[in-house]
Amino acid sequence: MLKLLFPLFAALFVFTSLDAQTAPRDMQMKVDVAYLASDILAGRAAGSPFADEAAAYLAMRMGQLSLKPMGDEQTYLQRFPIIVAGHGHMNDAPQLYTSNVLGYLDNKASQTIMIGAHYDHLGFGGSGSGSLHVGDPEPHNGADDNASGVAMIFDLAQRLQQKGANKSYNYLFVGWSAEEMGLIGSKFLAEHLPAGMPTLVGVINFDMVGRLSQENVLAVNGTGTSLIWPDLLASASKDRVTIKSHASGLGPSDHASFYLKDLPVLHFFTGQHPQYHKPGDDIHLVNFEGMVTISDVVYDVIQALPKSGEIPFTKTKDESMNKVSAFKVTMGVMPDYVYAGEGMRIDGVLDDRPAMKAGLERGDVLVELDGKPVKDIYDYMKCLGEHEKGDSVNIIVERKGEKLKKRITF
């Protein structure tokens, strides 16, 4: 019962006791995450009434922050159709609807930056949802994935209205829906930008930014999509976080939809964890101090954007996607995408998969696979691409300073 009452109290607190423009930043982030990741929203599955309630909350917050509605019929909601797995065959499934949520900070500039995060998640899990949970259906509350990202766009929406903020751009703040179903909401928005909005010149995406670890490493994807990104990130992150950069503009999150429209993008991400796509992704594990730090980094990147509005686009090689699509087997592990050392560190081991059967553990660092060195996650994926299901190979992992030889069967 307490788990249900706290989000209700938190929401009441923000409605009645706080001026959202003056509330402590980490407290307001906690309020946003607490409500979105509560059991009463039942995992926010796109197409469900619970996702509609989440969208209504986002719209309320955008109104509270005095953002201009940029959805359908002068509302914050941009409605679009989806077909949800589990509702029948694709050719006879009922057509459901969900909504992106759009709020606009109009600085009367000639160009616009989009700042977004998806708000949907996996509902109660189950077949076809993407859940990694084994057991009875439970709400997948998605505190990190991605209530954390939504809380961060609101934090920036507040700060970018304050004195001294970069007013050389307009800012479109977006909560995307149906990301978990295949980036459907961001793809729809990329094809249906708000009418009359000045030119979109860049996209910033937050997806899972609530677990900044003690190592203080922040993964940033899309750093190769504009020549200006690396220097801006290096300056903004100094003495705050270590940036683990990935050049490609593609990847399994909403920024990819806009990169494919030849737009510079950045995707901020604090890494996977054992609760990823499971019911255990709850608010007590979120690092709100770390979220404030990340928001500060992004704010300083925005502050340093050229006042002329020039953000040159660069096409990337997108090697990561080529390698991901190449392999036919899996070890059954979750890679640690923010690991900055040599090798591929394992952030989670899935039940009853080859890695578990081989005795691998979370925290192991894979350094060799079938006699070939593994220096990073891309070496790992390249090696996987050379094997077929049923192959057995030797691997070497480092565990607490000791090298262990294991044999794994795909």
Q: Are residues 189 and 255 in the same domain?
A: yes
> Is residue 316, in this structure, part of any structural domain at all?
no
Q: Which residue has the tokens 């439970």?
A: 138
Q: Are residues 281 and 333 in the same domain?
A: no
> Is residue 382, in this structure, part of any structural domain at all?
yes
Q: Are residues 77 and 200 in the same domain?
A: yes
Q: Which residue has the tokens 């076809």?
A: 128
The last residue of one of the domains, among 236, 270, 303, is 303
DSSP 156-170: HHHHTTSTTS--SSE
Q: Are residues 208 and 257 in the same domain?
A: yes
> Is residue 315, in this structure, part of any structural domain at all?
no
pTM given for the model? 0.84
Q: Are residues 280 and 331 in the same domain?
A: no
Q: Are residues 249 and 391 in the same domain?
A: no
Which tokens hold the place of 392? 């057995």
Residue 355 domain boundaries:
327-409
Q: Are residues 104 and 223 in the same domain?
A: yes
With beta carbons less than 8 A apart as the criterion, state whether 32 and 62 touch.
no
pLDDT on residue 349:
85
List of the chain residues with pLDDT < 70: 1-23, 84-94, 309, 318-327
Sign of CA dihedral 300, 303, 306, 312: positive
Q: Are residues 129 and 234 in the same domain?
A: yes
> Is residue 318, in this structure, part of any structural domain at all?
no
Query: What 3-state DSSP class applies to 31?
Result: helix
Which of these, 407, 329, 395, lies nearest to 366 by C-alpha position? 395
The helix (H) or strand (E) run that includes residue 34 is: helix 25-36
pLDDT on residue 91:
53
> Is residue 319, in this structure, part of any structural domain at all?
no
Q: What is the CATH number of the domain that holds 388?
A: 2.30.42.10
> Is residue 314, in this structure, part of any structural domain at all?
no
Q: Are residues 243 and 372 in the same domain?
A: no
Which of these, 266, 271, 120, lies nearest to 209 by C-alpha position? 271
* Count of domains for the chain: 2
Which tokens hold the place of 296? 């500060």
What is the phi/psi pair of residue 115, to 5°?
A: -125, 115
The helix (H) or strand (E) run that includes residue 117 is: strand 111-118
Q: Are residues 272 and 339 in the same domain?
A: no
The last residue of one of the domains, among 238, 269, 303, is 303
Which pLDDT tens digit goes with each residue over 97-142? 999 999 999 999 999 999 999 999 999 998 878 899 988 999 999 9
Q: What is the CATH number of the domain that holds 246?
A: 3.40.630.10
Residue 349, number of CB atoms within 10 A of its CB: 22
d(CA 23, CA 3): 23
> Is residue 317, in this structure, part of any structural domain at all?
no
pLDDT on residue 328:
80
Q: Are residues 273 and 160 in the same domain?
A: yes
Query: What 3-state DSSP class applies to 150?
Result: helix
Query: What 3-state DSSP class applies to 368?
Result: strand
> Is residue 309, in this structure, part of any structural domain at all?
no
